[in-house]
A and B are shown apart, each in its own frame.
Chain A
Amino acid sequence: MIRKKILLLGDFSVGKTSLVKRYVDGAFDDKYLTTIGVKISKKLCTIEGIECEMLIWDIEGSTPSKKISLGYYRGASGAIFVSDIGRRETVNNLDEHKDIFLSENPNAVYVTAYNKADKLSEIAKENIVLDDDTFLTSAKDDSNVEELFMQLMKKMLV
């Protein structure tokens, strides 16, 4: 079995914990509880016949004014950068999160999630241009959550 450490990074209240809860437990709770420090979950999956286990580090939200411990970044093979599609500044801050992460793990891979897509109209969704590593996700509707994590795992195994 292959085990990999992956991080969920992004601003406060973008839905990182909800994405993990949906992917790991298949559940959703719209009550907001801020994550303090880090919460670790694990998920087994099989990709192209290879059994894998993701150790998912759901890290507390950060902003340029509030940095998180760099120790959490160390040794991660991949990351999911999460933003709230309804809050422009969370999308803008993604680049900074990526820079910090890649400075610690230059060889790591990542995918990006524009979360809370359930709040967008269908027309708005159609107008957003996405590449293979970027997903419009909704933990509430269970939209593209599985695909998000599987894409990251595939990239890590390449």
Chain B
Amino acid sequence: MKRVTPAISKGIADNKETMIDALYPIMGGMISKYVTQAIKEMMETINKKIENGLSVENYKRKVKAKLSGVSETEILLEESSSSVISSLFVIHKESSLLIAEAHLEDKEIDDAHMVASMASAIKDFINDWIKNNESHNEVQILSYGNATLYIESAGSVYIVAFLDAEPDYEQRSKINTFFAKIVKEYATFFQKFNGDDSADEIVTLSMEMEDYLYAHQPIAKEEKKNPAKYIFFFMAFLLFGYGVFVFNAWYVKNGLENTVYSQTGEHISISSEDDYLVLNGQVSSTDTVFEIEKIMKRHSKKMIKNHLLVPMTYIDKRLKDEQNLGTSSVNSLEKKLLFLERNFEKSVNGLQEKILILTEELKASKKHLRQVLEKESNIGQFKENNK
């Protein structure tokens, strides 16, 4: 190990940029993890601050967060993020020559090679100055008005993203990930670059960069703000809200009407008046009126205005029905009584006949008994006589 370690150290010292190219994609990911953790903690802190804040915008954001399921901080960051990447440069670090470029449509940069060189010169100047002032960081953001250059550096190249505002953490992370990918893919080509722009790698690299630009184009940002659209959405929202309210009222009313019908067999109509439920319609009896009221109290917390009616026709009809029922019951009872009387008479007659028969039989039995007794006395006399 002791022999190997100095060899590695010398290897790194001799090929520092090659080593950086090789390690950048890996180190970038590791650093990214730690930064992600730090950002998470920061977001939690911001969330707490937002929760304690009081303003109309805060409440709007809270509602949006509840509806979308996205945290308020993310919405806040999304709202504040408005940068669009219009161009990308890959610049050779050693010579400051532009290796590859990509632009959105109509966003081409005139004299791209000079711009690349000038950006490098500014970056080199600032880096040299900062190094002299006891720091080892590199310039990452150059900004002039709305124009912002985001610079990410690897071993032998650096990437410059041209934006219309300072990139947020997510955008930086995406650019760095893309950069790590191309550094890994073209490391050998970058190290051997000598200013010749006829290499095939430049064509493929430019295409990849252009694909990246269009893939990360925020579509919504390009839409112009149209006040009529917002008014339309606002009106649609109001109509929708009213629709929901009406539907809900209808649903509740319909549900109650069905419940009353299923439990009493009565059709009534229910309407809403402020905090009251108003019951209308005709039912067949006063008992039903009270029963319906009980049902309403069980199923709704609203107060009740009971306008249910029991018409006289219903009462007359009911009385008549009850009268008919009584008459038919009396008739039926009379028939049954008559039937019983007849049966009773028949039974009495039968019994009388049976009594006569039994009386005759009794007479015959008595006669027979006397004869037996006479015979016994005759036999007794005969026995005494024989003695």
Contacts and interface: CB of A to CB of B under 8 A. Distances in A.
Q: Do A and B bind each other?
A: yes
Interface string B95-124: 111100000000000010110011001001
A77 B92 CA distance: 13
B361 interface: no
A1 to B, nearest CB: 5
A14 B92 CA distance: 30
B110 to A, nearest CB: 12
B96 A37 contact: no
A77 B96 CA distance: 11
Interface stretch (B176-184, B195-203, B288-296): B195-203
A40 B118 contact: yes
A71 B125 contact: yes
Contact of A75 (B92, B113, B114, B125): B92
Contacts of A57: 117, 121
A40 B114 contact: yes
A72 B124 contact: yes
A82 B288 CA distance: 115
Nearest to B94: A75
Nearest to A74: B94
Interface string A17-44: 0000000000000000000011011100
A55 B128 contact: no
A72 B121 contact: yes
Contacts of B129: 69
A75 B121 CA distance: 12
Contacts of A97: none
A152 to B, nearest CB: 14
Given A53-B113, A55-B97, A75-B93, A3 B195 contact: yes
A98 interface: no
A18 B127 CA distance: 29
B125 A69 contact: yes
Interface in A33-69: 37-38, 40-42, 53, 55, 57, 69
B127 A55 contact: no
Contacts of B197: 1-3
Interface residues of B, number: 23
Nearest to A55: B117
A51 B149 CA distance: 30
Contacts of B121: 37-38, 40, 57, 71-72
A69 B97 contact: no
Contacts of A76: 95
A55 B121 CA distance: 12
B92 A1 contact: no
A56 B194 CA distance: 16
A124 interface: no
Contacts of B96: 5, 55, 74-75
Contact of A77 (B95, B111, B198): B95
A4 interface: yes
B93 A55 contact: no
A74 B124 contact: yes
Interface string A89-110: 0000000000000000000000
A129 interface: no
Given A3-B195, A38-B121, A76-B95, A70 B111 contact: no
B113 A42 contact: yes
Nearest to B124: A71
Contacts of B125: 37-38, 69, 71-72
A74 B93 CA distance: 9
Contacts of A53: 113
Given A71-B127, A71-B128, A41 B97 contact: no
Contacts of A55: 96-97, 113-114, 117
A69 B128 contact: yes
Contacts of B114: 40-42, 55
Nearest to A3: B195
Contacts of B127: 71
Contacts of B111: 42
Contacts of A40: 114, 117-118, 121
Contacts of A77: 95, 195
Contacts of A42: 111, 113-114
Nearest to A53: B113
Interface of A: 1-5, 37-38, 40-42, 53, 55, 57, 69-72, 74-77
7 contacts: A3-B98, A4-B195, A5-B97, A38-B121, A42-B113, A71-B125, A75-B92
Given A5-B97, A55-B113, 20 more contacts: A1-B197, A2-B194, A2-B197, A3-B97, A3-B113, A3-B196, A3-B197, A4-B95, A5-B95, A5-B96, A40-B117, A41-B114, A42-B113, A55-B114, A57-B121, A69-B129, A71-B125, A74-B94, A75-B92, A75-B97
Q: Which 5 A-B pairs have the closest CB atoms?
A: A71-B124, A75-B95, A75-B94, A3-B195, A69-B128
